[in-house]
Amino acid sequence: MVEVGRLLHDALLVTLTGPAGVGKSRLALEIAGQAQRGRRFEAAVVQLRQVTDAIELRQRVMTTLDGLTSATAQHGSGPGSTSHMLVLDDCEHILDECGLLLGQLLPRLGPLKVLATSREPLRLPGEAVFSVTGLAMPQGDSHTALAGCLRSDAVRLFLDRARAVVPGFQLTEANAAQIGEICRRLDGLPLPIEMAARLTRVFPLSEIVARLDDPLSLLTSGWRLADDRHQSLRASLEWGYDLLSAPEQSLFRKLSVLPGGFGADGAATLVDHADEASDVPDLLVALRTKSLIVPCAEQDGPSRFRLLECIRSHGHERLVAEKEDTEAYERVTAWLTTLSAPLQEQAVVHPSTLWRLAEERGNLEHLLRRLDDDTDERQQLLAGALAAVELSRGPSEDAVQLVSNVLNRTPEVSRYSSIALEGMAALAAWRGDLGTALRHAGRAVEMERGYDRHPVLGRLLLLRSALHAMANEQDDAVTDLKECFRISHHLHDETLTALCRSGLAWHQLQDGDLRSAEQAIAEVLPLLRTRIPPRQLRMTLVTAGMLALEQGDLPTAEAYFVESLRSCADHLREAVVAIEGLAVTAARAYQFEKGLQLIEAATRIGGGTSWGGSWWRDRIQTARTAALKALTTSRVDAALTAGKMMRHRHVLSIALGSESNGAATETAVDTPLSRREQDVVTLVVQGLSNRQIAARMHVSVRTVETHLHHIRTTLGLRSRAHIAAWAAERQIATASIA
């Protein structure tokens, strides 16, 4: 409201745009009402949803303007009030007529301000456009669901409407995850959230979540007095669909098979002819202008868009009604198969390929759930692509199960079987199931020997060698590495050769051949830094760190372990060996408390498994024993407790040396607040006023207000109550501050 008010101050015409159900009309009416109450404008509203021609439009607008003029003359203006505000609600179906009329009126009626609502701009000179988006949705995982919901406007709306039909309805730890899921799947759109909230009178939250797979059939409980378009979500979306041109309708329907988002290239694969493909960029602009697609968040590179989930469901419903779904899904399958083809062509998949597949992760997952033809072997290649993407971001249980389901339902032997088995082996290893991982990798290697695809065989041997090393089967690991080494020479593949030499350096290190290991690392590390992503470089860096440890060069060892940890800091499970390396380094530098904390944290994160085998576990145990002997019992207990309790960010702060050991032992709270701000939070939890907090902390009230503003901004909170709830969620200390 503040931003729209600023636009109205500078422009004669402001248009609120946005998708169906986002609350454009309600926002416009509230702005007009506030302006009227504040005596800044004389405001009137013209509802245009039933208007169909220019004559009726002109009559309604002129009659309303005459009424405004009469009201001003009769009652007089408030202090400083010189303008009238005209709200034109629902303009999208008569844009040309509205544009022509306003083009005539605005130059003649200087004091007039126009606030219009439409699914697309009027495109008039001097028009200011404000895009209305969905309400803020809850963020966070299942462990912080309650805190995330407390900061969400979408959840606040859901609770308000739910309490209207179920008095006493409360947000709790038990239902926070379900309420957050409902609001996220409805993209924070007020109209469907209100409809879903009213269903709490009939259905439990779990059933509402389950039935959101078909939101159009579920969300039909509009207000009784609302117009036809707001009686159901389907009716609201049908209104906008009917306003599209035939090419726009066609592309809109087909885009519904891409829930993971799309760029111009993905959209172009869905059209029928090359000449139509050239029109796709313009059609995407049109759909964006009409609020049917929205930009994807946090995108780097070419523009990507997505359909809001409710809008996508409507598009998919129309796609099925037009009997276009089979062809659309076949086109998507062929396109994603082409994108995934480098997995069976390259020994070391290029980072650009992995990045491109990562963009299509949502589409890969959706397609694999959708495909039901058990004879379509392309599913195995797509499953392998999904596994590669998941391993680059931290696999989810759903994705692991999906890849497993594809393997179980598709032909046991096909040209893509080894790709799917490779993905399943890597996922099993990530979960710590080495037996399953080795079984899948072994099957993949044997299958690939039957094809003339040396790049894939080389990659599979490299994977199996790493798995053997994790299982402490050193002879088998070296055998696979040597065969992979021969393949890399045959292919003249420098990157695969460097990876093989890096793997062999690890075994040379265990055998005590430090000179050969040092020479290999010195030669391959500079090459690999330029050829593979930092995440794939992490084990080479770990080997370099272990080598430096064996040579007694602790600063160099720490630098390599830190670099390895930073390369996968978002997924600590992949960084367990780097954390262990920093623990051993700390213990050898007599930083025993830090070493114990990190060993304990690594054990918890890794589930007790370690990549390094018995040779490396011996060094970890030696470091642990030295720490236990050097520290008192109380300090040992404190360090072990801190290590067990440390959260993700705190592990990083200790491992990377950005926080003192004392602070780590003192608390395991993961917070972005400064120590002073945490003190303010503690006193807020105790119920103190700003003046009381200022007296307790010996600062001014203005300083306390500044701290509270920073706290709310940093955490995305709205009130003192939300701050208190956030503190309780993270168990912020509530001891009195002297």
What's the CATH fold of domain 331-477?
1.25.40
Give me the pLDDT at residue 684, please: 83
How far apart CA 410 and CA 384 sit, in angstroms, is 13
For the chain, the average pLDDT equals 86
Q: Using one digit for the tens of pLDDT, what is the confidence trace for 229-254?
A: 666 788 889 988 999 999 999 999 99
Task: Compute how many other C-beta atoms are within 10 angstroms of the C-beta atom of residue 376.
Answer: 17
What's the CATH fold of domain 244-323?
Arc Repressor Mutant, subunit A (1.10.10)
In the predicted structure, residue 698 carries a pLDDT above the cut 80? no
Q: Could you tell me the pLDDT band of residue 641, with boundaries at 50, 70 and 90?
A: confident
> Read out DSSP for 457-526?
HHHHHHHHHHHHHHTT-HHHHHHHHHHHHHHHHHHT-HHHHHHHHHHHHHHHHHTT-HHHHHHHHHHHHH
Give me the pLDDT at residue 74, please: 55
Contact call for residues 192 and 22 (beta carbons, < 8 A) = no
Domain residue ranges in the chain? 2-131, 142-233, 244-323, 331-477, 569-666, 675-729
Give me the pLDDT at residue 737, please: 47
Contact call for residues 268 and 330 (beta carbons, < 8 A) = no
Using alpha carbons, list the distances in angstroms from residue 445 to 24, 271, 460. 58, 39, 6
Contact call for residues 13 and 24 (beta carbons, < 8 A) = no
In the predicted structure, residue 217 carries a pLDDT above the cut 80? yes
What's the CATH fold of domain 2-131?
Rossmann fold (3.40.50)
Domains 244-323 and 675-729 belong to one CATH topology: yes
Q: Using one digit for the tens of pLDDT, what is the confidence trace for 705-717?
A: 878 877 876 676 7
Nearest to 363 by CA among 267, 258, 264: 258
Q: What is the mean pLDDT of residues 367-385?
A: 89
Phi-psi map region of 90: left, alpha, beta (phi>0 left; psi -120 to 50 alpha)? left
In the predicted structure, residue 70 carries a pLDDT above the cut 80? no
| Rounded (5°) CA angle 659-660-663 | 95
In the predicted structure, residue 544 carries a pLDDT above the cut 90? yes
DSSP one-letter code for 143? G
Give me the pLDDT at residue 658, please: 56
Q: Sign (positive/negative) of CA torsion 677, 681, 682, 686?
A: positive
Q: What is the mean pLDDT of residues 363-389?
A: 91
Give me the pLDDT at residue 666, please: 38
CATH 1.10.10.10 fits domain 675-729: yes
Q: Could you tell me the pLDDT band of residue 726, with boundaries at 50, 70 and 90?
A: confident
Q: Using one digit for the tens of pLDDT, what is the confidence trace for 186-216?
A: 999 999 999 999 999 999 999 999 999 888 8
Give me the pLDDT at residue 661, please: 39
